[in-house]
Chains A and B, each alone.
Chain A
C-alpha cells in the first residue's frame, strides 16, 4: 500500500447522546465523540462541511455537520429516517461505535461575512449546517453584524434543535422568524412557505445571505432574494447529492464540471448560475 492517506477508512466514533427531535421519532440528533485522541486532534472543520456516516455492514450516507467547531470534542449530526443506512442509524444506542469519514467539502464563507449583516434562510431538517454556522457566529458574536434567521418547517413538530431555537428567540442579538407551511392550532408564529415569508420579512439586501433547505425551497427562494436586491456574489447555498466517495472520484455528485463533494457543497449564486444542472 502506498503511504498516501487512505480516505476510505472511517474514523471510529462513540455515540455519546441521542436526541429524538420530534414526536414521530423520525428525526434524531447524534452527538458523537472521538474514540481516539489523535483523531480528535486531526479533525478540524468549519460550518458547512459534511461527513460520510458509516455503519459497517450497511454502508455510508453523507450528512452535514450540525455541530460548530466551537463545540470541542463533539461532532453532531441530525438524521432523518429515510433509507437503509439512516434506518440503521436510528437503531443506534448511546455507547455504540460508528464511523465517520471527513470533514469533506468546503464551508460557508465565514471570513467574508466578518463585519457584515447575515441573513440565514433554512428549511426542514437541512437546518443542520445552518445551526453549526449560527452557533459559530454567536460564539464569535462581535465578528458579525445583524443576524436574521428565517426557518421554515412543514409542521411545528418538524423543527430541529427546538430548545436552542427557544433560547435564540429570547436573545436580542439574533432575530428569528419561524414559519410553518399551514396553520396549526397553538402555533403563534409565522405561517407560509419560506420563499413567501422571505418576501414579507424583506431582509436588508446589503447583507449576505445563506440559504439551505430542500432543492425546491432553494429554487423558489433564490428569485425572491434576487428580487429584493441581494448581490449574486453575496448569496450562498449548500447543495446535496447522493455522495459516495466524498473525494471527487465516484461520479455521483457531478453538476456540470464541478463535484459537490469537493467544489461544494457550498456555492455562491454567482458560481451556481454558471452551472446548468445545479437544481
Chain B
C-alpha cells in the first residue's frame, strides 16, 4: 500500500499523465462528470457520485464511426495514450464491466459468437481504473442490493481510500501494481491507516439502505409481463429519458449521418428506449408505441433480459436515475413493487 499526502497528489497525477490520458470527476458547467484533466487541481474529491456516469469516457455520448468524402472512408484512430480514470466508484467500475460484456471481451452470450465493438475496445482494453472507496454514500445509493459495497475493489486496478489528509493506494491488478511501482515518493501505510480504513468502511456501510433480497426478482419478472403492474409503474413517467442518459449501464444508441453532399461523418449517439421514435418504423408501425411498453422495456431489460443473456442485473445501484427523475419515479420502489406484486392470475397458468 502506498500513502500519498493529499497536498502532494499533483505529483502522482503528473506521473500518471506521462503514461495515460487521465480522467476524473470534475466540474462540467454546473454539473459534475468524468472529464479529461490536466492537473490534479481539477479533480473534485468532495463528491461521491458525479451527476453523469463515467460510461461517457469509453462510450461517448457522440462518437464518429467514420468520415466519408471523395477520398473514401476514414476511421478515427486513437493514437493518444491509454486512458486512466481516477475517482471511479465501485458502482461505476461494475457498470463498465457490464458494458464490457456487451461491447468488449468480457463475456460473450453463451453459445453465440458476438461481435466486439472496436471503438469500445480501443478505449477500454488498456485502461487503468482507480477505484475510490465511498466514505459517504448518498441517500440515493443502493449498491448493496447488487452485491456492491462502497469499499469493494472488484474490477479496479488500484483501490484508493481517502483517509482525510492522505490517499491510501493499493494495487489490485498487475497493471495497477506495475504503475504504483513507478511512484517513489509515497510513504508506506501504517497499522493506524488500516484501522482508519476499517472504521471508514464501517461508517460508509451504515449509510446504505437495508439490503433487500432481489434474487426472486428475475423469476418474478418472467411472470408479470402482461400484468397491470406496468400501468401502475408507468403512470407518472413522462418518457423524458433522463434516467437512461445518466444511467451508467444504459447503452442504447442511434447511428446517424451528418454532412452535406459527399462529405460528412457517420456518428453514433446515445439513444433511449424511453423515446417513442426509438422503435418507430418508417411504415408507422411501432412495436413500443405506448409509454407503458417502454417503461416495461427499460425495467425488464435491467432486471430480466440482461440477466437472461449475461447472468447479472444491468444495474449497479448508483442511484443516478433516482436523483434525476423529474417525477420521482424511484427505481428502488419499482423493484419493491415488483417483488411485492400479487399476480392477478393463477401462477400455474
A242 engages B280 (CB within 8 Å): yes
Q: Which residues of B contact A2 (CB under 8 A)?
A: 116, 118, 121-122, 125
Given A86-B282, A249-B117, the answer on whether A57 and B73 have CB atoms closer than 8 Å is: no
Given A1-B78, A8-B66, the answer on whether A83 and B287 have CB atoms closer than 8 Å is: no
Binary contact readout A208-249 vs B (1 if CB under 8 angstroms, 0 otherwise) = 000000110000000000000000000000001110110111
A57 engages B121 (CB within 8 Å): no
Nearest CB on B from A62, distance (A):
10
Q: Which residues of B contact A247 (CB under 8 A)?
A: 114-115, 117
Which A residues between 176 and 213 are near B, CB-CB below 8 angstroms? none
Q: Tell yes or no: A140 within 8 A of B by CB.
A: no
Contacting chain B: which of A37-45, A130-138, A166-174, A251-259? Answer: A251-259
Contact of B121 among A4, A59, A61, A242 (CB under 8 A): A4
Binary contact readout A77-95 vs B (1 if CB under 8 angstroms, 0 otherwise) = 0000011011000000000
Given A57-B261, A251-B271, A277-B287, the answer on whether A6 and B75 have CB atoms closer than 8 Å is: yes
Bound complex: CA A8 to CA B115 (Å): 11
Q: Tell yes or no: B68 within 8 A of A by CB.
A: yes
B73 engages A58 (CB within 8 Å): no
Nearest CB on B from A161, distance (A):
20
Q: Tell yes or no: B259 within 8 A of A by CB.
A: yes
Nearest CB on B from A243, distance (A):
10
Q: Which residues of A contact B115 (CB under 8 A)?
A: 5, 7, 247-249
Given A9-B66, A249-B253, the answer on whether A56 and B117 have CB atoms closer than 8 Å is: no
Nearest CB on A from B341, distance (A):
16
Q: Tell yes or no: A250 within 8 A of B by CB.
A: yes
Which B residues between 255 and 311 are near A, CB-CB below 8 angstroms? 255-257, 259-262, 264, 266, 268, 271, 273, 278-283, 285, 287-288, 293, 297, 300-301, 304-306, 308-309
Q: Which residues of B contact A4 (CB under 8 A)?
A: 116, 118, 121
Q: Tell yes or no: B65 within 8 A of A by CB.
A: yes
Nearest CB on A from B302, distance (A):
12
Q: Tell yes or no: B7 within 8 A of A by CB.
A: no
A58 engages B279 (CB within 8 Å): no
Q: Tell yes or no: B151 within 8 A of A by CB.
A: no
Bound complex: CA A99 to CA B122 (Å): 25
B112 engages A262 (CB within 8 Å): yes
Which A residues between 52 and 111 are near B, CB-CB below 8 angstroms? 56-61, 82-83, 85-86
Bound complex: CA A77 to CA B289 (Å): 28
A244 engages B255 (CB within 8 Å): yes
Bound complex: CA A257 to CA B303 (Å): 11
Given A6-B75, A6-B118, A56-B264, the answer on whether A82 and B283 have CB atoms closer than 8 Å is: yes
Which B residues between 302 and 342 are near A, CB-CB below 8 angstroms? 304-306, 308-309
Name the residue on A nearest B121 (C-beta).
Answer: A2
Q: Tell yes or no: A23 within 8 A of B by CB.
A: no
Q: Which residues of B contact A255 (CB under 8 A)?
A: 287
Name the residue on B nearest A244 (C-beta).
Answer: B255
Given A56-B266, A257-B308, A257-B309, the answer on whether A252 and B279 have CB atoms closer than 8 Å is: yes
Bound complex: CA A7 to CA B305 (Å): 24
Name the residue on B nearest A275 (C-beta).
Answer: B225
Q: Which residues of B contact A244 (CB under 8 A)?
A: 253-255
Given A242-B281, A249-B102, the answer on whether A59 and B262 have CB atoms closer than 8 Å is: no
Name the residue on A nearest B297 (C-beta).
Answer: A254
Bound complex: CA A1 to CA B80 (Å): 11
Bound complex: CA A276 to CA B280 (Å): 19
Contact of A215 among B78, B226, B285 (CB under 8 A): B285
A59 engages B257 (CB within 8 Å): yes
Nearest CB on B from A246, distance (A):
9
Q: Tell yes or no: B252 within 8 A of A by CB.
A: yes
Q: Which residues of A contact B287 (CB under 8 A)?
A: 241, 255, 277, 279
Q: Tell yes or no: B36 within 8 A of A by CB.
A: no
Name the residue on A nearest B284 (C-beta).
Answer: A82
Bound complex: CA A172 to CA B42 (Å): 79
Bound complex: CA A60 to CA B251 (Å): 19
Q: Which residues of A contact B304 (CB under 8 A)?
A: 257
Q: Which residues of A contact B349 (CB under 8 A)?
A: none
Q: Tell yes or no: B159 within 8 A of A by CB.
A: no
Binary contact readout B215-255 vs A (1 if CB under 8 angstroms, 0 otherwise) = 00000000001100000000000000000000000011111
Q: Tell yes or no: B34 within 8 A of A by CB.
A: no
Given A57-B264, A59-B257, the answer on whether A1 and B252 have CB atoms closer than 8 Å is: no
Bound complex: CA A250 to CA B273 (Å): 10
Name the residue on A nearest B102 (C-beta).
Answer: A249
Residues of A within 8 A of B (CB): 1-2, 4-10, 56-61, 82-83, 85-86, 214-215, 240-242, 244-245, 247-252, 254-257, 262, 276-277, 279
6 sampled A-B residue pairs with Cβ under 8 A: A4-B121, A56-B68, A57-B262, A58-B257, A241-B281, A254-B297
**Closest CB pairs A-B (n = 10):** A83-B282, A251-B252, A257-B308, A257-B305, A82-B282, A247-B115, A276-B225, A2-B121, A8-B65, A4-B116
**13 further A-B pairs in the complex, CB-CB below 8 A; given A2-B122, A242-B281:** A2-B116, A4-B121, A8-B255, A56-B259, A242-B280, A244-B253, A245-B255, A249-B102, A250-B254, A251-B251, A254-B301, A257-B305, A277-B288
